[in-house]
Every structure is written in structure tokens, then in C-alpha cells.
Amino acid sequence: MTTVASFTITHSRFLDPAGALTQALPEFARGPSALKRLYRAMALTRVFDARALALQRTGRLGTYASSLGQEAVAVGLADAMRAEDVLVPSFREHGAQLLRGVTATELFLYWGGDERGSNFASAREDFPVAIPVGSQAPHAAGVALAFMLRGDQRVAVCAFGDGATSKGDVYEAMNLAGVWRLPVVFVINNNQWSISVPRSAQTAAATLAQKAVAAGFAGEQVDGNDVIAVRHAVGSAIERARGGEGPALIEAITYRLADHTTADDARRYRDDAEVSRHWKDDPIARLRLYLTREAGWTKDDEEHLLSECGQVIVNAAETYLAMAPQPPSALFDHLHASLPDALAAQRDILLRESDRHG
């Protein structure tokens, strides 16, 4: 019996839950500006989340998936990207989308049930939210293949949850990315729950990072509540991919502090005590502790930031709420590049009906 292959999975973090450094900061994080940028992005995300929940509760938004407690994953991965890279998100990376330039108004539109929310004014090549779990992984491989074929020095970054790792789509996409050495970085937002199904019931794999072993490339774990660790690991993977070294998988371990969505009641299946325990891992508090101690972050700074973020989001919500809905013809407007003759009659019926009964 001879050993023909061996693999190890590592875990890394820079900031512990008390906001103390566990190792020297990576290059990008030296000096306060990057960390303050990351902190602001996380804070903005949390404010956005809170507003979205409020809108939902008052009937002005549809079912909404909060990212409470997971801000470091979304923000860290997006901050590691260049503008010309392409984000292929799941439905819980609001923080990444905001950082990429998708506006809060657009996000509200989408979650409010309006297609215009996916017609981003910036980040025009980024993918919209993917609801069918894991179905976006093949798209990321396709985007990365486009980059490779054109010789672009660009990278696709694909995010999905722990549950998504059980989907064949994700596996097939990773396997293809591996064998073609595509410039794509897969990031698992492991919030330890897939609605009511815990991570332990999703797979027997000791880590989710090791899913990459099956696809023939490197996988690693990071503390997903440490935005520095996420930013660093994803950033390094992106630059390796950009340099032609192929794909990577990063498992960011975090926790879903909120219900799965506003349609869910997590108390049916998990203890409040578990949730409370995880509050101490809050990625925002952690970075604030560090900034307070090491970068002179004050209460004033905090208040100022929160009120600035609040204003951005309030304005966005107002813009959202003030927008007239699309006309009924919107059903046909973008079905094909130009409407086939055969559908004109149906469109006429719609317009007539909506005039009469709408």
C-alpha cells in the first residue's frame, strides 16, 4: 500500500472575538484606512438589513433574507475584488453588492419584487441574486471561462452557503473550474444553517473547504467573522487566479444570527441560547474593539458613521418607495431582444386587461 496523494486543510484568522490580533496583520490591513473602509461597509450592511426588515414588517418589501452577523464574509470578499472582476452572488451577499456599487435602492427594488433592482447602474457585469441554491456556481465558471478565453486579467468571485455545497451544480462547476484552471474563486458563506438543517446534517465532510479536494484545487478555512481574514484569504486567492494559477475555495465560517428569512421562525429548530452564544462572535463588534484600541476609533466616530449610513439607507428607501411601478408591458419588454410577432397578440391582451381591470 503506497500513499499517492495527501491534503491538508488550514484555518486562519487575524482578529479574535475580543478584537485582539492573533498574528501580524496582512499587508493590505496595515494602517487604519482599509480597516475603517471595511468597518463602514459592514456597518452599512447592517443598517441596510435593519431597514429591509422594517420595510418587510410593514408590508413594503417581500420576503427578505437578512445577513445579520455575516457581514464580514460579504464585505471581505467584495473588498478583495477589483472593479473589473465579476461578482456572482447568492441571495445573502447584500454587503458585497453594496460595496461593488449596487445601490441600496436597487436592492430594495429586487427584494420588493421589482425586476429593475437587478438592472444595476454600476457593476454592470455582476450577476443578480441567485435564488435556486448553488445554481450560480456554473455561471461563475462561465464568466471565468470568458475571461480566460479573452485573455482578460479578471476574476469571477462566486459566493454560496453551506447548504449549497450539497448541490451537484456547485460540484460540477468546481470540477470544471479545476480542470480548466479557470480564474474563479468560490467562497462558502458557512453560516452553519440551511434553513432548519444544521451544517452537520448537510455533509460528513469535516470541513467544507475540503470540497475542493474533489475538484483538484486548494481549499482553506477562515474565520468568517474576521473580515481581515476573509479579505486576506479571498484577496490572495483572487490574485493567484488572476495570475493564472487557477481556482480556489474559501470556506468562511460565520453564523446566521437572524431567521433564515422573514418567512422563517428559527425558534422552531434552534435554541435561543445557541444564537446568543454566537453574538459574541459578531464581526462588527470585533473590528470595533480593535479599531477602538488600535486606531483611536471613538464613540463620536461610531455615531457619525451610523448616522451617515442611516442617511444613505433612508434616502435609498425613500427613493425606492417613491418609484412608480413598471407598466404591465414590462412582462414582455425583455423577454427577447425584440418581441417575436407571435407574442404581440398576447401582449395586446395584457394591455387591454390591465387597462380595464388594472
Partner 1 sequence: MVERTLVEALNLALVRAMTEDERVILYGQDVGIDGGVFRVSEGLLRQFGAKRVLDTPLSETVLAGLAVGLGAQGFRPIVEIQFDGFLYPTLDQLINHAARLRTRTRGRLSCPMVLRAPYGGGIHAPEHHSESNEALFAHIPGLRVVIPSSPRQAYGLLLAAIRDPDPVVFLEPKRLYRALREEVADDGASLPLDRCFAVREGRDVTLVAWGAMMRETLEAAEQLSSAGVEAEVIDVATLKPLDADTILRSVEKTGRCIIVHEAPLTGGFGAEIAARLAEHALTSLLAPVVRVAGYDTVMPLAKLEHFYMPSAARIVDAASRVMAYA
Catalytically active residues, by annotation:
256, 260, 269
- Residue 201 contacts a copy of itself per CB under 8 A: yes
Give the range of 53-61, 95-103, 185-193, 307-315 binding ligand TPP by CB under 6 A: 185-193
Of 121 and 269, nearer to Mg ion (C-beta) is: 269
DSSP strands (E only) in 172-308? 184-190, 193-194, 197-198, 219-223, 248-253
Shortest separation between residue 160's beta carbon and ligand TPP, angstroms: 6
Task: Give the relative orientation of helices 283-295 and 227-242 as an angle to the nearest 10 degrees.
Answer: 100
Of 97 and 194, nearer to Mg ion (C-beta) is: 194
Q: How far is CA 183 from CA 107, 155, 225, 240, in A?
A: 27, 5, 26, 8
> 287 exposed, middle or buried (CB, 10 Å; 0-12, 13-18, 19+)?
buried
Give the range of 118-126, 162-170, 232-240, 281-289 binding ligand TPP by CB under 6 A: 162-170
How many CA atoms lie within 13 Å of 164's alpha carbon, on the beta-carbon side?
30
How far is the C-alpha of 238 from the C-alpha of 246, rounded, in Å?
9
Interface mask toward ligand TPP for 18-57; x: CB under 6 A: ----------------------------------------
How far is the C-alpha of 192 from the C-alpha of 41, rounded, in Å?
23
Can you list the pairs that 347-355 forms with residues at least 24 positions away whose Cβ atoms lie under 8 Å? 354/328
Of 277 and 293, nearer to ligand TPP (C-beta) is: 277
Give the range of 4-12, 265-273, 296-304, 317-325 binding a copy of itself by CB under 8 A: 4-12
Please state the φ and ψ torsions of residue 188, each to the nearest 5 degrees.
-90, 120
- Residue 256 contacts ligand TPP per CB under 6 A: yes
Per partner kind, with CB cut-offs from 5 to 8 A, the member of partner 1, ligand TPP, a copy of itself, none near residue 92 is ligand TPP
Of 194 and 221, nearer to Mg ion (C-beta) is: 194
- Residue 259 contacts ligand TPP per CB under 6 A: no
The bridge status of strand 184-190 relative to strand 248-253 is parallel
How far is the C-alpha of 7 from the C-alpha of 93, rounded, in Å?
30
- Residue 169 contacts a copy of itself per CB under 8 A: yes
Cβ within 8 Å of residue 280, ≥6 positions away = 17
Give the range of 28-36, 131-139, 232-240, 290-298 binding ligand TPP by CB under 6 A: 131-139
Q: Which residues bind a copy of itself (CB under 8 A)?
A: 1-12, 23, 166-169, 171-172, 175-176, 178-179, 181, 201-207, 209-217, 221, 246
